[in-house]
Amino acid sequence: MSELRELPELFIVCERLRAEIGCDFVGLALQNESGPDVRWHYASGNLNDKYKRITVRFGKGIAGKIISSGSPMMITNFPNSIIGKVTDYPINLAEKLVATYAVPLFFSGIPKGVLLIGKREEYFFAEEEQEKVAESAQALEQLLKEHLF
């Protein structure tokens, strides 16, 4: 999936989302083509490159939970408002994210990816911000469908 780095449209969608919402971080995770593990493939506003080395099991971490449930997820005050251990949220730890909102990306009706936005301070993402994330996720689904699946 190294082809993602060659998709300027992907960068445009993510950068626009980060600017419109005024968040600190935007990340894109995808389930591996073989096996259930999930990896972060793209980030904007990242503090470092640790996200590239993060792999989570299906059902673990934000990305794994979103893909296994197929539902959006919001954390407003990490690590105070989480279920489970702090180490179950490696993207929050690596990027010092306190508030995150993530939605699934669907391919052929199956959740296979995650679009996540984050802030490095306590925050509640308003409904209109959540809608912008959902719209960006749909745009990314179309882009990635053409290039990956």
**Cβ neighbourhood burial of 148 (10 Å; 0-12, 13-18, 19+):** middle
Long-range pairs, 7-11, Cβ under 8 A, ≥24? 7/143, 7/147, 9/143, 10/42, 10/140, 10/143, 10/144, 11/42, 11/44
Mind listing the pLDDT tens digit for each residue in 12-62? 999 999 999 999 999 999 998 777 889 999 999 999 999 999 988 878 889
DSSP-derived 3-state class of residue 48 = coil
Q: What's the one-letter identity of residue 63? A: A
pLDDT, one tens digit per residue, over 79-127 is 997 888 899 899 999 999 999 999 999 998 999 999 999 999 999 999 9
What pLDDT, on the 0 to 100 scale, is given for residue 6?
66
Q: What is the pLDDT of residue 3?
A: 59
Amino acid 149: pLDDT: 53
pLDDT at residue number 7: 77
Does the global pTM surpass 0.85?
yes
Helix/strand/coil for 15: helix
pLDDT reading at 1 higher than 50:
no
